[in-house]
Amino acid sequence: MTKKAGRRSLVTLTTAALALSLLAGCGGNNNGGNSANGANSGEGGNAGTPAATESASTAAPAETGIDTSKKVELQFYMLGDAPKDLPIIQDEINKMAQEELNATVKFNYTSWTDWDQKYKLLLSSGQAIDLIFTADWTQYQSYAKRGAFLAIDDLLPKAAPELQKFVPESMWEDVKVDGKIYTVPATYKEYVTNGFVYREDLRKKYNLPVPKDLASYEAYMDGIVANEPDLMPMSLNSDIGNNLHYIYTELNKMVGALPYGMGVKYESPTTVYSYWGSDEQKEELKTMKRWADKGFIPKNVLNIKDTMQDPITSGKAASMFGDNPTRYNDMKMKISTTHPEWELAYSPFGLTTGYATPVHPIHNGFAIPKSSKNPERALAFYEKLVLDKRYNLLTQYGIEGKNYTVENGYYKLVGTSTSNGFSREGMNGWAWRNPEYMLFDQGFDGVKAIFDELDKIQKPDLFLGFAEDYSSYQAEKAVLEQVEKQYLFPLQAGLVEDIDKGLDTFLQKAKQAGLEKIQAEWTKQWNAYVAEKGIK
Amino acid sequence: MRQRTRKTGTPLAIELPVQGGGPAASPLGAGTIKKKKKGFLHELIHNRVLFLMLLPTLLFFLVNSYFPMVGVYYAFTQFDFNSGLFDAPFVGFKNFEFLWKSGTLVKLTLNTIGYNLAFILLGNVLAIVCAILLSELRVKWFKKLTQSIMFLPYFVSFVILSVIVYNVFNYDSGFLNTLLARFGAGPVDVYNKPLVWIFLIILFYLWKNLGYSMVIYLAAITGISDEYYEAAKIDGAHIFQRIWYITVPMLKSTFVVLLLFSLGSIMKGQFDLFYQLIGNNGVLYNTTDILDTYVFRSLKVTFDIGMATAAGLYQSLFGFILIMTVNYIIRKINDDYALF
C-alpha cells in the first residue's frame, strides 16, 4: 500500500513540475540573458565614475596617461565574419599590445546572419564588451541616446590624446548625441550614395539608353526584357523597403531614409510633410505597379532571400536599381575574373539629383559600451589601431608578404580571396581606416574616379546627425513597422492590383497603429534638430 | 490497482492517511487537513530514497524554470541601459500595448490556436491511423521501410523545407508552374494567395511530424497484450472490430497525455515552420501570422526586453490557463486520464 501511494504522489509531482515548466519555459527564454545585466551595468557605472572624477584633474596637462599596471583582456566586437587568419593576426597584435599597453585583445565577430539581433543582445544583455562597432545602420544615435554607450569626452584627452587631435574637430562635433561624444568616427572620406549598376555589354549589344534617371532606367529594363527573356532585368530580394523604396526616394532627393512615411526634401530641410498618402507616393506606387506588370519585379519577390549582389555577379540579373560605388566596384572586380566578357557600368544618382553627400562621420565608428570594464585601456588600444602603422596595416591587410604585397603603391592580394586567409580589410575594419596608411587595389581607381566626380557636387549629409528618441512612441513604432510590412511592402513591390484601395487600407491600419502620434513627435524632434544645427 | 483506488472518487487528501498506513481509522471530518500534513511528512520520511532520487529533477526545474521567472517583472518595466532589473522604471501594462494596439491580437491568437488545433487533432488522428495500419502489416521488411520513410522528413530542417517549398511554388521557375506549363495550363501565383497557405502549412507540418508521432502510437500498440486479440479472434471478431474495440480504446490514454502536453504550448505555434515558409511576405500575413512570428518580427526591429517579456508572458499565461481548463474538464469526464 505504501509503495503505491509513494508512486502516485511521485507521478503527481513530476507531472506538475513538467506542466509548470511549460509555463516557466517561456518566461525563461526571454530572460535567460538578462539576469547578468544588473550586476554588470552596475560595474559599468562604477567604471565610468572614476574616469569622470579623474577628468576634473586632467584639466591640467594630462601627460601621465593611463594606469596600465593591471593586465587586462579587451573584448572587441565587430560585425560580420572573421577572416580565416584572424588568430594569427590577433597573436601578432597581442604581442605588441601586451608590451605597450599591458593588455591583450580578443576580436569577436557576430557573423552576418541575424547580426542585428546579436548586436542588440550584446548591448542590452550587459555582457562585458570594451569596444563595439557603431554606424547609422546599427542605430548608433538611438543607442547613444538611450545610454548604451559610455560618453568618452573626458576619457579622450587622457587615454587617447593623439586620436583626439587626429580626428577633426568638426567630426567630433558631428557624432555628438545630446552634446556628448559616444563614438570614435572614421576619418576616411567616401561616398555610400547609390547609383544604377547595369550590364554595359548588354546595353551596347541591344543599343539601349544609359540608365540616368527613372525613365531611362525603365527603358533599359524594357530592352533587357525584350531581348534577354531569361535574364532578370533587376536584382531584388524581400527587403523591398531598402532596395526599392528608399532608392526611389533617394532619386527623388529625400534628405535620407526617413521612417514613418515622413517626407523632408534636401532643398527644404525645414519643411516636414507626410509622404504617405501624398501624390508623390502614389506616383511611386504606380511606377512600381507598372514595373511589376512589365515583369521587372518578380511576383514572389517577397520570398526571395538572395543577396542583392549575387544575381549580378552570377549573371542572373542585368541591373541593380541602386548600390554604392565601393560595392559596385567589388562586383565589377569579381566579374572581371569569372566572366571577363561581361561588362558592368555605373551611373551615380548624384549626376541626376545634382548633389552627393559624402559619408557622415556616424557611418563608421567604434564605441565603448557601458558594460566595459576597461574603458581607458580600450580607448588607448583603439588609438593604436588607428594611428600606429604596425597595428593598422596588420589589422587591415594582414601580414605583408604572406597575405599581401605592395606593388607601385597598390595593394596586391597574394593568391586568391579563397586561398588567402586575410583579404583586403578582412577584419571589416572600416571604422579604423586611416587615410594616411590606406592601400588600394589597382581596381579601386575606378571608385576613386567616381568619388572625384562626386566631390565636385558634394553637399553635407543633413540627416544622419539626427538622433531620434522613440521612447515615447515605442509601442506605436513596433506596431507600425508590422503594418508596413503587411500592407505597404506589397504595394511598394507592385503586387497589389488596386493601388488606391490598397493605400487606403494601409493608411487606415497605420492610423490605427498610432501613425499621427509618431509623425507629430518625429516632426517635433526633427524641427528641434534642424534649429539646433542651424540648418536652413 | 491505481484505477481501482481512484475510481472511488474520493479526494486525494482523505485517501492518503489510509494508504500511508498511519493511524487512519478515525472518521472523516475536521481533522482531515491536519492528517494530510502529517501524512505528507510521514511519507517524506518513509520514501526518502525516492524523494532523494527526485531531487535532481526538482533542482533542474527550479534553476531553469522557476528562478528565471523573476524576470517576468521585466514585462512591467521600461528597459534602461543604466539600471538593473528592480530599479528600472515601472510602467505597468505599457509594454503590452503593442500587442493590442494593432488590433491584430485577436486575429493572431485565433490563428495560433487554429493552426495548433489542426496540428494536434489532425496530427494525432493521422498518426493513430497510420500506426494501426502499420501494426497490422505482417511483412516485416515493408513495415520497417515504410516506418523509416515516414520518419525521415522529421530530420529535414525547416530552413531546407523552405527552400524546397520555394522551388516548388515560385512563380517564374517553380516546379509547379513548369509542370503546369508543360500541360498547357497557366501559371499559379501561390505566393500571392493567402488562403492556399492554410492548407500548405498544415500539410507540411503533417508531412514533417507524422512519422514521429506515429512511432509513439506504434509503441503503445506494441504494448497491448496479444491475449486480447487472440480472445477476440476466437470470439469471431473481424479485423475492424478488433481495431475499433481493442486498439483504439487502448490508445486513448496515450492520446490524452499527448494532447495535454501539446495544449500547454498551443500559444507558441511552430515558429520555424511559419517563419521559414512565409518569412517577409506580408501578403500572406492575414492567414499565416501567428503570435510567435508577429512578436519576433516586431521585436527584431525594435528590440526591447520589456516588450519581449510582455509578449512571452501573455503567451505563457494563456497557455497556462488553457492547460488548466482542459485538464479540469478531462478530470471531470474521466479522472484516470487527467495529467494532475
Q: State whether residue B46 sits within 8 Å of chain A by CB.
A: yes
Whether B29 has a pLDDT exceeding 80, the answer reads no
Whether residue A344 is contained in a domain is answered as no
The DSSP string of B26-69 is: SPSSTTHHHHHHHHHHHHHHHTHHHHHHHHHHHHHHIIIIIGGG
Task: Give residue A18's pLDDT band: very low, low, confident or very high (50, 70, 90).
Answer: very low
Whether residue A219 is contained in a domain is answered as no
CATH of residue A137's domain is 3.40.190.10
Place of cell 487472440: B230
CA–CA distance, A378 with A384 (Å, rounded to integer): 10
Looking at chain A, the whole-number percentage of residues with pLDDT higher than 70 is: 88
What are the E-state strand segments in A232-302?
Answer: 262-265, 268-274
Contacts of B7-15 spanning 24+ positions with Cβ under 8 A: B7/B335, B7/B336, B9/B335
The values of phi and psi at residue A258, to 5°, are -80, 135
Whether residue A199 is contained in a domain is answered as no
> B154-194, pLDDT tens digit by residue?
998 888 888 888 888 888 778 888 888 888 888 888 888 88
What is the pTM for the complete model shown?
Answer: 0.75
Q: How far is A336 from chain B (nearest CA, A)?
A: 28
ipTM at complex level: 0.71
**Cross-chain Cβ contact A42/B84 below 8 Å:** yes
**Cross-chain Cβ contact A481/B268 below 8 Å:** no
> A399-434, pLDDT tens digit by residue?
888 888 998 888 888 887 778 888 888 899 889 999
From the list B184, B297, B177, B301, the residue with the least C-alpha distance to A298 is: B177
User: Which residues are A268's β-sheet partners?
Assistant: A265
From the list A466, A217, A187, A194, the residue with the least C-alpha distance to A356 is: A194
CA–CA distance, B50 with A204 (Å, rounded to integer): 84
Q: Of A513-527, B257-271, B316-330, give the lowest mean pLDDT range.
A: B257-271
> B206-234, pLDDT tens digit by residue?
998 898 889 999 999 988 888 888 999 89
Whether residue A519 is contained in a domain is answered as no
- How open is the CA angle B55-B58-B62, to the nearest 5 degrees? 135
CB-based contacts of A469, cutoff 8 Å, min separation 6: A142, A145, A146, A525
Count how many domains chain A has: 1
Task: Give residue B136's pLDDT band: very low, low, confident or very high (50, 70, 90).
Answer: confident
By the 10 Å C-beta count (0-12 exposed, 13-18 middle, 19+ buried), A56 is classed as: exposed
The values of phi and psi at residue B206, to 5°, are -65, -45
Q: State whether residue B102 sits within 8 Å of chain A by CB.
A: yes
Average pLDDT for residues B299-305, to the nearest whole number?
Answer: 72
From the list A370, A388, A325, the residue with the least C-alpha distance to A150 is: A370
Whether residue A330 is contained in a domain is answered as no
Please report residues of B whose CB lies closer than 8 A to that of A489: 280, 282
Chain B, window 143-172: residues with a beta carbon less than 8 angstroms from a chain A beta carbon: 166, 169-172
Whether residue A83 is contained in a domain is answered as yes
Per-residue burial over B272-299, b = 16 or more CB atoms within 10 Å of its CB, e = otherwise: ebbbbbbbbbbbbbebbbbbbbbbbbbb
Domains of chain B, by residue range, sit at: 106-289+327-337
Q: Could you tell me if A123 and A132 are in contact, meaning their C-beta atoms sit under 8 angstroms apart?
A: yes
Q: Could you tell me if B260 and B105 are in contact, meaning their C-beta atoms sit under 8 angstroms apart?
A: no
Does the domain at B106-289+327-337 match CATH 3.40.50.300? Answer given as no
Give the pLDDT score at B103: 73
Helices and strands of chain A, counted as H and E runs: 23, 13
- How open is the CA angle A371-A376-A377, to the nearest 5 degrees? 95
**Cross-chain Cβ contact A24/B65 below 8 Å:** yes
**Cross-chain Cβ contact B102/A148 below 8 Å:** no
The values of phi and psi at residue A267, to 5°, are -70, -25
**Residue in chain B nearest A511 by alpha carbon:** B102
Cell for B247?
486498439
Containing structural domain, residue A169: 72-189+361-452
**Residue in chain B nearest A34 by alpha carbon:** B71
